[in-house]
Amino acid sequence: DTEVTQTPKHLVMGMTNKKSLKCEQHMGHRAMYWYKQKAKKPPELMFVYSYEKLSINESVPSRFSPECPNSSLLNLHLHALQPEDSALYLCASSQDPQGIELFFGEGSRLTVL
Amino acid sequence: DQQVKQNSPSLSVQEGRISILNCDYTNSMFDYFLWYKKYPAEGPTFLISISSIKDKNEDGRFTVFLNKSAKHLSLHIVPSQPGDSAVYFCAVQGGKLIFGQGTELSVKP
């Protein structure tokens, strides 16, 4: 069983919808990450939170809005997405902000119609 | 500009034989290397790692070799089992984790 839990596992949304992806970890890790993965491609880093503060934004469009309410939770708010944003969104955590070893959740499969 | 390359998108091996997955990187300053395994519809799971001060790290059936002069690392799985069939990503720690494109391993009974 993964120790990084993501909900929902599947999400279908229209381009005008607002939805959120949620991630939770209880390993006491102080860094949390959002990755995006398209089919047959490697995971691509989107955001990094270190000690609950946004430390890296990989030039992600503003229609993706991350939020870290506390050290265990990470959200990704979605608004006005495009069909090309359809992908597997992976949350990960690491003990330290250097991110030597990341623990990934199972991902949220997003489809934008 | 790919900093981490896995040139073989797929590899097929007979059960019981050795699987060798390869990875090349461009920056000699990278000092920590990892392999992740990914099943369909799941997130990647950490498999094994190696730091640049070593040239080999072994964990059960899995061994990672690092050749710093060639900027090359490889993952050996022996003996290979059908349950090893998955996509394997090489990753390097370069301020952030940088993944290769992945190699899909298929182990046939």
- Nearest Cα to A102, choosing from B38, B10, B20? B38
Q: Please tell me if residue A59 touches chain B, with a CB cutoff of 8 Å.
A: no
Three-state DSSP at A88 gives strand
The pLDDT score that the predictor gives to residue A97 is: 78
Q: Considering only alpha carbons, which residue of chain B is nearest residue A109?
A: B41
A34 pLDDT more than 60:
yes
Kindly calculate the radius of gyration of chain A based on its CA atoms and give it in whole angstroms: 13
pLDDT, averaged per 10 consecutive residues of chain B (109 residues), comes to: 90 98 93 92 90 95 97 97 96 87 96
Q: Please tell me if residue B99 touches chain A, with a CB cutoff of 8 Å.
A: yes
